[in-house]
Every structure is written in C-alpha cells, then in structure tokens.
Amino acid sequence: MKPVITFANFGNYTDIFKTLFEGLGLEVLPPEKTNSKTITEGVKIAPEMYCLPLKVNLGNYLSAIKNGANTIFMTTASGGSCRLRYYGVTQEKILKEAGYNVNFIIFDQKIGDIYSKIKEISGASLFQILKVFYYFYRKLSLIETLEKRAQYLRPREIEKGRTDQLFIESISKIGDLKKEKDFPKFKKGILEKFSQIQINEKKNLSRVGLIGEIYTVCDPTINFGVERKLGQEGIEVYREMNLSYHLKKKIFFKDFFIQKKVKPYLGSTVGGHGRDAIYEMLHYIKEDFDGVIHLLPAFCMPETSVRPILEKIHQESGIPFLSLSLDEQVAEAGIDTRLEAFVDVVRNYHHQGISNRLRINE
C-alpha cells in the first residue's frame, strides 16, 4: 500500500506542511479546511471530555480519509505535561474503533525523532531532508512576517478588507510555490504588494495582546478570526505565540528565562504554554497595552490552571482582560458580542490616558 499522507490543520501553516511532504517525494492529501461540518464529524467519534484540538484534528483526518488518505502524521510532546502527549495514541485508538484502517506516524518534537520517522517513510537522504526543512522554514518565516504585517495594516487600511484579501491570496500562493530558487523573487513581490496597500497613518491606536494556547491563538478557523475582527474594529493586535516561537523555545532554552520572569506569580511549569501566557501578559502590561485577550480550548489543563493568576494580574494592573474558552458548542455570535463589548472597554481604557492609569494603580 502506497502511503498517502495527511495531517491535522494548523492555521495558516497548513499549506506549507503540504509542500513539505511533497518535497520529500510523498503523496499528500491535505485535510479539508476546518469548518463547522468537519468539527461536528470529529466530535461524533471523539471522547466527550477531551479538549477541542483533538476533536478538530479528528474531523480533519476524517475529511482526508474519505478522499483516500491512509497515513497520518501527528506530533506528540514526550516532555510535556499536558494531554497533547496522548493525542497520537488516543486518535489512533479512536479511528481504529470507528472502523478506519489508517497508519499512524507519531513523531516527537525532537530533531532526531523527526528525522528518523521521515527517513523511514520517505527514504530521502539527509541532505534532501535538510534542504526541504530549510525551505519549509523560509516559507514559515515569510508567513509569520505577513501575519505581523497584516496585524499592522488592518486597523490602518483605507479600503476595508484589502489586507485580508491579499493575505489569504498570498498564503495559498506560498503553499503552492514549488521551486526554491523562485522564492526570493516571489517574496519580494509579495512584500511589494503589501506595501502598496494604502494606509491612514493614524497615530493613536489602541493595542491588544493575544495570549493563550498555541492552537487556538494561531488558527483563525478555530478562534473565529479574532485577530481580523479586532483589526477591522481599528485595534492593533499583537501576538507573540506562533509556530516558530514554539520551535525556537525548544532550541534556546527560553523556558528558563520565562520562569525567572514569572516567578512571583507561578513557581513551576503547569504544562503546555501556561507560563508563556503569564509572561506575555506581563510583557504587554509593561509595553502599555490597552487590553489582553486570552484564548484557550475549554478545559485546557495548563490554561485553566493559570487563569486565576492572569485574573489577579488584571486586577492589580487594571488592564482590560477577556478570556475566551472555545469548544465545539461556542457560537460565533456569542464571541462577537463579547468582543464588541471588550472593544468598547479597550477604547475607554485607551482614552483614559496614562495619568489616569497611574491613579488606578495606586
């Protein structure tokens, strides 16, 4: 049986995963873009109490399996303390019990393990694998640059919706780009297009930081496009959490420095990106932001553990804080209402000015 590979959706990065596997000479069948239908399909077979990303992933797999995929690539985190560690085995079990005959390749987030698993399935040489991964990384950083650009442009653009239109177009183009030697020219072209967007250099924009669990923060299909919605309301959104942040953290022992910063609030890891949420929130307060939005899948163990701490920081500093837990039953209208109310709070807070803010702190 020839392996036909599929994988779970991951926000804007899904398309480049596809080219990654194609670069290794494997046949790939990307999952359908996450929508309410795929989520419902996943929820049907998923354990009730598991967190949202697992249910979403299962929905993604099912859409691809229907089209003929038979091998699933899934990550695990053997060093972590949260449930992500059991995603692979649990998903494999669930799919088997639901009657799907699929081959699961569960790789750990370690260079050695990724290499050996890929080598085994594709038979590519070390040089080829390195090359493909380097190309993958270049594409990844371009996407993240564009994400940051879009965050900057959305509240400033004159023709509403122009940025998003261009952004979505560019993401799929990046995914389709095959040859690496075309990349520099292509990158230049895209950045050129972004700089052509006409903007209104408003000086006084409110700024909001997004913190929370990586999957819900990064995937606009899961968080109902929080970033886009805030941007269109004229609020500049910042988000530190992205895929390369997560990858770099592993390499540069960033956890050690984060722990030092969050020490007064939390003395240890609580699994996942629990500490990072506190770290980022403290950072945003220091940078004088006007609000913080915390996104998490409902019942996420690390994020619910740190939420009381985030609330305490919010009380101490007075910065507007909104925590949105997402699951399959959350409706877009509910999120919209809360966001709208929050935007009002943020604007008020912004206009109160710095002197007022100091008084609250006292």
Partner 1 sequence: MVIGIPRALIYWKQPHFWETFFEELGFKVLLSPETNKEIVEMGVKVADPETCFSNKVYWGHLLWLDGKVAEASPHLPKRSAGREMNEVQRTPPCAASRHSACDLIFVPRLKANQEKLEYCPKFFGLPDLAKILVKTPILTETFDPRKERTEKTFKKLGKKLKKDSRETKKALEAALSKEKELKEKEKKEFLEKIKSKKQKIILISHPYNLYDEYVNLRMKEKLEKLGAEAIFIDEVPTPLSSVVSHQSSVKFHWEFGKEIMEKIQEILKHETCPVRNRRSSNGVAGVIEISSFACGCDAVLKEFVEKEFKENKIPFLYLMIDEHTGEAGFQTRLEAFMDTL
> According to CB under 8 A, which one of 267, 286, 329, 353 is a site residue for partner 1?
267
Measured distance CA(216)–CA(223) in Å, rounded:
6
Span near partner 1 by CB under 8 A; candidates 75-83, 120-128, 142-150, 162-170: 75-83
Of 94 and 118, which CB lies nearer to partner 1 in the complex structure? 94
Least separation in angstroms between residue 273's CB and partner 1 is: 12
Of 175 and 297, which CB lies nearer to partner 1 in the complex structure? 297
Instruction: Decide if residue 269 touches partner 1 (CB under 8 A).
Output: yes
Site for partner 1 in 84-143 (CB under 8 A): 85-86, 89-90, 93-94
Of 136 and 265, which CB lies nearer to partner 1 in the complex structure? 265
Least separation in angstroms between residue 93's CB and partner 1 is: 6
Q: Give the ranges where 196-331 is alpha helix by DSSP (H).
A: 214-218, 226-232, 243-251, 254-262, 274-286, 301-317
Site for partner 1 in 283-322 (CB under 8 A): 298-302, 304-309, 312
Of 30 and 59, which CB lies nearer to partner 1 in the complex structure? 59
b/e code 93-109 from CB counts within 10 Å (16+ = b): ebbeeeebebebbbbbb
Of 99 and 267, which CB lies nearer to partner 1 in the complex structure? 267
Q: Please choose, from the candidates 227, 207, 212, the residue with its C-alpha nearest in 3D space to the C-alpha of residue 276.
A: 212
Which contacts (CB < 8 Å, 24+ apart) does range 177-184 have? 177/19, 177/139, 178/19, 178/22, 180/131, 180/135, 180/138, 183/135, 183/138, 183/139
Of 165 and 268, which CB lies nearer to partner 1 in the complex structure? 268
Least separation in angstroms between residue 264's CB and partner 1 is: 9
> According to CB under 8 A, which one of 53, 59, 231, 271 is a site residue for partner 1?
271
Count Cβ atoms within 10 A of the Cβ of residue 236 and give its class: 0-12 exposed, 13-18 middle, 19 or more buried.
buried
Least separation in angstroms between residue 311's CB and partner 1 is: 8
Site for partner 1 in 3-62 (CB under 8 A): 47-51
**What are 161's two structure tokens?**
């919706």
> According to CB under 8 A, which one of 325, 342, 349, 350 is a site residue for partner 1?
325
> According to CB under 8 A, which one of 165, 172, 268, 356 is a site residue for partner 1?
268
Q: Please choose, from the candidates 353, 350, 356, 352, the residue with its C-alpha nearest in 3D space to the C-alpha of residue 234.
A: 350
Span near partner 1 by CB under 8 A; candidates 62-70, 107-115, 141-149, 262-270: 262-270
Of 317 and 325, which CB lies nearer to partner 1 in the complex structure? 325
Residues 6+ apart with CB under 8 A from 349: 206, 290, 291, 318, 319, 320, 357
Indicate if the alpha-carbon torsion angle 279, 284, 287, 288 is positive or negative.
negative
Of 102 and 191, which CB lies nearer to partner 1 in the complex structure? 102
Residue with tokens 């509910």: 334
Least separation in angstroms between residue 195's CB and partner 1 is: 43
Q: Tell me 74's DSSP state.
A: E
Of 175 and 302, which CB lies nearer to partner 1 in the complex structure? 302
Please spell the DSSP secondary structure of 104-115, one letter per residue.
EEEEESSHHHHH
| Cα-based distances in Å from 190 to 145, 177, 178, 183 | 11, 12, 16, 10
> According to CB under 8 A, which one of 62, 74, 82, 166 is a site residue for partner 1?
82
Binding residues for partner 1, rule: CB under 8 A, are 47-51, 78, 81-83, 85-86, 89-90, 93-94, 265-272, 274, 298-302, 304-309, 312, 325
